[in-house]
Amino acid sequence: MRPVRLMKVFVTRRIPPEGRAALAKAADCEVEQWDSDEPIPTKELERGVAGAHGLLCLLTDRVDKKILDTAGANLKVISTLSVGVDHLALDEIKKRGGWTSWKPLWMCGYGLSQSTVGIIGLGRIGQAIARRLKPFGVQKFLYSGRQPRPQEAAEFQAEFVPTSQLAAESDFIVLACSLTPATKGLCNKDFFQRMKKTAVLVNISRGDVVNQDDLYQALTSGQIAGAGLDVTTPEPLPTNHPLLTLKNCVILPHIGSATHGTRNTMSLLAANNLLAGLRGEPMPSELKL
């Protein structure tokens, strides 16, 4: 795994101990402080702010256009130890934040129309996904799993193929399989090398189906275009995990079933399953061991 790139934070003065301790504990930050109780000279401020992601300043520190230009594009946050903000060039700061003007290729991705979608695991959930994607103009569905499911696949004219073929031919790959010894680490370096450079991986199954170190390398090297993860290992990911630094990886906190209706249905199903087992009746959702 590549070392995590720490965010640079520059503090323009000695600050009270509680704030200093909070910054010191931030494992995702590299903090540099002007070690004095007196105002920082302009030249030292320019040196310290260069390349910084965060700036903690005081009312006596003039943060003007030159300082902002020196900081560069990395600068995300300016925090001031004051109520007043008259020392901050707010007009200049506004120019560097928020939405920019529209550009022809701004936020462009790849569309589902005329695409090939590969689904690993065409079970109940995999079928529901295909059913929802079909109206968006998907040209072809591929699927892989333990065995062909011709009856279920007929609705989508989905073709059963080996996983290696699915990886090579799909524009979008959706993981909807169970975590088993056969699927653990299924999406690894070899899998990603087979994928198209324009392809997107979506994982809604289990985090361990994907080798996350190999995924990080595939995303940073341009081997694949992007990834969307609703599941990870561990959950949640540590805030300093490399995947969280990537612009071509969207990570959600395992919320695929997060509706009131779905969670109520799940709870009722689990309760009825329990009661049936206790009463010696057939369990509606029994796992056959």
Active site residue 254: yes
Report the 10 Å Cβ neighbour count for 63: 23
Q: Is 14 helix (H, G, I), strand (E, B) or coil?
A: coil
Nearest 10 degrees: Cα torsion 271, 274, 280, 286: 110
For 54, 64, 118, 123, 234, the CA distances from 39, given in Å and listed in that order, are 18, 16, 60, 65, 44
Closest among 216, 220, 218 to 243, alpha carbons compared: 216
> Biggest alpha carbon distance in the chain?
80
Predicted local confidence at residue 98, as pLDDT: 72
Predicted local confidence at residue 259, as pLDDT: 93
Predicted local confidence at residue 34, as pLDDT: 95
Per-residue pLDDT tens for 26-84? 999 999 999 999 999 999 999 999 999 999 999 999 999 999 999 998 999 999 999 99
Closest among 159, 156, 162 to 130, alpha carbons compared: 156
Predicted local confidence at residue 4, as pLDDT: 60
What predicted TM-score, i.e. pTM, was given to this entire model?
A: 0.72
- DSSP secondary structure code for residue 90 in this structure: H
Catalytically annotated residue among 53, 87, 241, 254:
254
- Which residues, 6 or more positions from 143, have their beta carbon under 8 angstroms from its beta carbon? 118, 119, 120, 121, 122, 126, 149, 153, 158, 159, 160, 161, 166
Which residues face 95 on adjacent strands? none
End-to-end CA distance of the chain: 37
Give the span between the Cα atoms of 99 and 102, in whole angstroms.
9
Q: Which sign, positive or negative, has the C-alpha torsion 38, 41, 44, 50?
A: positive
Give, for all 289 residues of the chain, the pLDDT tens digit. 455 678 999 999 999 999 999 999 999 999 999 999 999 999 999 999 999 999 999 999 999 999 999 999 899 999 999 999 999 999 999 888 776 677 888 888 899 999 999 999 999 999 999 999 999 999 999 999 999 999 999 999 999 999 999 999 999 999 999 999 999 999 999 999 999 999 999 999 999 999 999 999 999 999 999 999 999 999 999 888 999 999 999 999 999 999 999 999 999 999 999 999 999 999 998 888 7
User: ω into residue 3 within 30 of 0, thus cis?
Assistant: no
35 in Cβ contact with 80 (< 8 Å): no
143 in Cβ contact with 120 (< 8 Å): yes
Whats the size of the chain, residue-wise? 289
Report the 10 Å Cβ neighbour count for 131: 11
**What are the φ/ψ torsions at residue 81 (nearest 5 degrees)?**
-85, 60
Predicted local confidence at residue 100, as pLDDT: 67
32 in Cβ contact with 76 (< 8 Å): no
